[in-house]
Amino acid sequence: MEISSAQIAEMVKKVLADMNGGEVSAVSNNEVPIGVSNRHIHLNKADMETLFGAGYELTPLKDLSQPGQYACKETLTLIGPAMRPIENVRVLGPLRAKSQVEISATDSYVLKVKPPVRESGKTEGSAPVTIIGPKGIVQLSEGCIIANRHIHMSPSEAAVFGIKDGDTVTVDVNGKRRTRWYDVQVRVHKDFRLEMHIDTDDANAAGIGNGFKVKVVKE
Protein backbone atom coordinates (compact mmCIF):
# COMPACT_ATOMS: atom_id res chain seq x y z
CA MET A 1 0.00 0.00 0.00
CA GLU A 2 1.37 3.40 -0.98
CA ILE A 3 1.58 5.94 1.84
CA SER A 4 0.89 9.58 0.98
CA SER A 5 3.01 12.52 2.17
CA ALA A 6 0.06 13.70 4.26
CA GLN A 7 -0.11 10.33 6.05
CA ILE A 8 3.65 10.43 6.68
CA ALA A 9 3.33 13.92 8.15
CA GLU A 10 0.55 12.75 10.46
CA MET A 11 2.62 9.77 11.63
CA VAL A 12 5.60 12.02 12.33
CA LYS A 13 3.34 14.43 14.20
CA LYS A 14 2.04 11.60 16.38
CA VAL A 15 5.56 10.37 17.19
CA LEU A 16 6.66 13.89 18.11
CA ALA A 17 3.54 14.35 20.20
CA ASP A 18 4.29 11.15 22.15
CA MET A 19 7.85 12.39 22.71
CA ASN A 20 6.55 15.73 24.01
CA GLY A 21 3.95 14.38 26.41
CA GLY A 22 1.00 14.32 24.05
CA GLU A 23 1.31 17.51 21.99
CA VAL A 24 3.48 19.33 19.52
CA SER A 25 3.30 22.81 20.97
CA ALA A 26 5.09 24.62 18.15
CA VAL A 27 2.86 23.43 15.33
CA SER A 28 -0.93 23.62 15.23
CA ASN A 29 -3.21 23.49 12.18
CA ASN A 30 -0.30 24.35 9.87
CA GLU A 31 -0.08 27.79 11.50
CA VAL A 32 3.09 29.85 11.68
CA PRO A 33 3.65 33.03 13.76
CA ILE A 34 4.75 36.17 11.97
CA GLY A 35 7.90 38.17 12.70
CA VAL A 36 8.00 41.60 11.07
CA SER A 37 11.50 42.64 10.05
CA ASN A 38 12.23 46.36 9.83
CA ARG A 39 15.13 47.72 7.78
CA HIS A 40 18.46 46.63 9.26
CA ILE A 41 22.18 46.18 8.65
CA HIS A 42 24.53 43.22 9.00
CA LEU A 43 28.24 44.09 9.19
CA ASN A 44 31.52 42.31 8.76
CA LYS A 45 34.42 43.12 11.09
CA ALA A 46 36.30 45.40 8.70
CA ASP A 47 33.27 47.54 7.89
CA MET A 48 32.27 47.71 11.56
CA GLU A 49 35.69 49.12 12.46
CA THR A 50 35.54 51.61 9.60
CA LEU A 51 32.15 52.85 10.82
CA PHE A 52 32.78 52.78 14.59
CA GLY A 53 36.55 52.76 15.01
CA ALA A 54 39.36 50.21 15.35
CA GLY A 55 38.77 47.58 18.02
CA TYR A 56 35.09 48.45 18.39
CA GLU A 57 32.64 45.75 19.52
CA LEU A 58 28.89 45.73 18.96
CA THR A 59 26.66 46.17 22.00
CA PRO A 60 23.80 43.63 22.23
CA LEU A 61 20.45 45.27 22.99
CA LYS A 62 17.98 42.37 22.88
CA ASP A 63 17.77 38.82 21.58
CA LEU A 64 15.79 38.17 18.43
CA SER A 65 13.47 35.21 17.87
CA GLN A 66 16.11 33.08 16.13
CA PRO A 67 18.73 31.73 18.57
CA GLY A 68 22.07 33.53 18.45
CA GLN A 69 20.69 36.57 16.63
CA TYR A 70 20.34 39.91 18.40
CA ALA A 71 19.61 43.58 17.86
CA CYS A 72 22.43 45.95 18.77
CA LYS A 73 22.32 49.38 20.39
CA GLU A 74 24.20 50.75 17.41
CA THR A 75 22.36 52.45 14.55
CA LEU A 76 23.65 53.87 11.27
CA THR A 77 22.52 56.09 8.39
CA LEU A 78 21.86 54.92 4.83
CA ILE A 79 22.37 57.10 1.76
CA GLY A 80 21.58 56.38 -1.88
CA PRO A 81 21.67 58.39 -5.13
CA ALA A 82 18.74 60.51 -3.97
CA MET A 83 20.92 61.87 -1.14
CA ARG A 84 17.90 61.55 1.16
CA PRO A 85 19.14 59.76 4.30
CA ILE A 86 17.37 57.05 6.23
CA GLU A 87 18.63 57.45 9.78
CA ASN A 88 18.71 55.21 12.85
CA VAL A 89 18.92 51.93 10.95
CA ARG A 90 19.52 49.15 13.47
CA VAL A 91 22.62 46.94 13.31
CA LEU A 92 22.01 43.24 13.96
CA GLY A 93 24.54 40.79 15.34
CA PRO A 94 26.59 38.72 15.29
CA LEU A 95 29.11 39.88 12.68
CA ARG A 96 28.94 38.25 9.25
CA ALA A 97 31.46 37.43 6.56
CA LYS A 98 29.94 40.09 4.27
CA SER A 99 28.08 43.29 5.09
CA GLN A 100 24.46 43.42 3.96
CA VAL A 101 21.63 45.97 4.10
CA GLU A 102 18.01 44.79 4.11
CA ILE A 103 15.33 47.36 3.30
CA SER A 104 11.73 47.47 2.07
CA ALA A 105 10.51 48.52 -1.35
CA THR A 106 9.24 51.75 0.23
CA ASP A 107 12.76 52.45 1.55
CA SER A 108 14.17 51.85 -1.93
CA TYR A 109 12.01 54.69 -3.31
CA VAL A 110 13.44 57.04 -0.68
CA LEU A 111 17.04 56.02 -1.37
CA LYS A 112 16.55 55.70 -5.16
CA VAL A 113 18.20 52.28 -5.25
CA LYS A 114 16.98 49.13 -7.00
CA PRO A 115 17.58 46.18 -4.67
CA PRO A 116 16.57 42.70 -5.84
CA VAL A 117 14.28 40.46 -3.79
CA ARG A 118 16.70 37.87 -2.43
CA GLU A 119 17.39 35.31 0.25
CA SER A 120 19.51 36.83 3.00
CA GLY A 121 23.20 36.38 2.22
CA LYS A 122 22.70 36.28 -1.55
CA THR A 123 24.19 39.69 -2.30
CA GLU A 124 26.00 39.06 -5.58
CA GLY A 125 24.95 41.70 -8.11
CA SER A 126 22.62 43.42 -5.65
CA ALA A 127 22.24 47.18 -5.24
CA PRO A 128 24.97 49.55 -4.01
CA VAL A 129 24.40 51.68 -0.94
CA THR A 130 26.41 53.97 1.35
CA ILE A 131 26.50 53.48 5.13
CA ILE A 132 27.46 56.41 7.38
CA GLY A 133 28.73 55.82 10.90
CA PRO A 134 30.13 57.98 13.70
CA LYS A 135 33.74 57.29 12.68
CA GLY A 136 33.62 56.65 8.95
CA ILE A 137 31.76 55.79 5.76
CA VAL A 138 31.38 52.45 3.96
CA GLN A 139 30.35 52.41 0.31
CA LEU A 140 29.03 48.98 -0.61
CA SER A 141 29.27 48.26 -4.33
CA GLU A 142 26.69 45.52 -3.72
CA GLY A 143 24.84 44.26 -0.65
CA CYS A 144 21.49 46.03 -0.52
CA ILE A 145 18.51 43.66 -0.91
CA ILE A 146 14.82 43.27 -0.15
CA ALA A 147 14.62 40.02 1.81
CA ASN A 148 12.29 37.39 0.39
CA ARG A 149 9.38 36.10 2.44
CA HIS A 150 10.60 33.02 4.27
CA ILE A 151 9.78 30.63 7.10
CA HIS A 152 12.27 29.41 9.68
CA MET A 153 11.64 26.00 11.21
CA SER A 154 13.44 23.17 12.98
CA PRO A 155 13.79 19.72 11.40
CA SER A 156 11.05 18.30 13.65
CA GLU A 157 8.69 21.13 12.69
CA ALA A 158 9.49 20.62 9.02
CA ALA A 159 8.66 16.93 9.41
CA VAL A 160 5.25 17.81 10.83
CA PHE A 161 4.56 20.14 7.90
CA GLY A 162 5.85 17.52 5.47
CA ILE A 163 8.31 19.91 3.84
CA LYS A 164 12.09 20.24 3.61
CA ASP A 165 14.76 22.93 3.48
CA GLY A 166 14.57 24.97 0.29
CA ASP A 167 10.94 24.13 -0.47
CA THR A 168 8.53 26.92 -1.33
CA VAL A 169 4.99 27.03 0.05
CA THR A 170 1.81 29.05 -0.24
CA VAL A 171 0.63 30.99 2.82
CA ASP A 172 -2.87 32.27 3.61
CA VAL A 173 -3.14 35.52 5.59
CA ASN A 174 -6.49 36.16 7.23
CA GLY A 175 -5.64 39.63 8.50
CA LYS A 176 -7.46 42.93 8.09
CA ARG A 177 -6.71 42.64 4.37
CA ARG A 178 -7.04 38.96 3.53
CA THR A 179 -4.41 37.82 1.07
CA ARG A 180 -2.30 34.88 -0.09
CA TRP A 181 1.48 34.78 -0.48
CA TYR A 182 3.06 32.45 -3.01
CA ASP A 183 6.60 31.05 -3.32
CA VAL A 184 7.47 31.51 0.36
CA GLN A 185 10.88 29.92 0.97
CA VAL A 186 11.32 27.44 3.82
CA ARG A 187 14.60 27.38 5.72
CA VAL A 188 15.23 24.40 7.99
CA HIS A 189 17.99 24.22 10.61
CA LYS A 190 18.35 22.59 14.00
CA ASP A 191 18.78 26.00 15.66
CA PHE A 192 15.74 27.64 14.04
CA ARG A 193 12.44 28.39 15.74
CA LEU A 194 9.14 28.39 13.89
CA GLU A 195 8.47 31.85 12.48
CA MET A 196 7.71 33.49 9.13
CA HIS A 197 9.66 36.66 8.36
CA ILE A 198 8.14 39.45 6.30
CA ASP A 199 9.05 43.11 5.92
CA THR A 200 7.09 46.16 6.99
CA ASP A 201 5.55 46.64 3.54
CA ASP A 202 4.00 43.16 3.63
CA ALA A 203 2.85 43.58 7.22
CA ASN A 204 1.19 46.92 6.55
CA ALA A 205 -0.43 45.71 3.34
CA ALA A 206 -2.04 42.75 5.13
CA GLY A 207 -2.80 44.67 8.34
CA ILE A 208 -0.89 42.27 10.59
CA GLY A 209 1.95 42.42 13.11
CA ASN A 210 4.35 40.35 15.19
CA GLY A 211 2.84 37.13 16.49
CA PHE A 212 -0.06 37.03 14.04
CA LYS A 213 -0.67 33.45 12.85
CA VAL A 214 -0.68 32.66 9.13
CA LYS A 215 -1.43 29.28 7.60
CA VAL A 216 0.66 27.12 5.28
CA VAL A 217 -1.65 25.86 2.52
CA LYS A 218 -1.46 22.26 1.33
CA GLU A 219 -1.99 22.30 -2.44
Listed in sequence order, the residues at least 6 apart from 209 whose beta carbon sits closer than 8 Å to its beta carbon are 34, 36, 203
Residue 63 pLDDT grade (very low, low, confident, very high; cuts 50, 70, 90): very high
More confident residue, 5 or 157: 157
| pTM: predicted TM-score of the whole model, two decimal places | 0.84
Average pLDDT of span 126-136 = 98
In this structure, which CATH number among 3.40.50.150, 3.90.105.10, 2.40.40.20, 2.40.50.100 belongs to the domain 5-35+149-217? 2.40.40.20
- Give 146-170 as a DSSP string: EEPPEEEE-HHHHHHHT--TT-EEE
- For all residues of the chain together, what is the average pLDDT? 90
Average pLDDT of span 77-87 = 96
Percent of the chain with pLDDT over 70: 86
Residue 29 pLDDT grade (very low, low, confident, very high; cuts 50, 70, 90): confident
For the chain, which residues make up each domain, given as ranges?
Answer: 5-35+149-217, 38-147
Predicted confidence (pLDDT) at residue 81 exceeds the cutoff of 90: yes
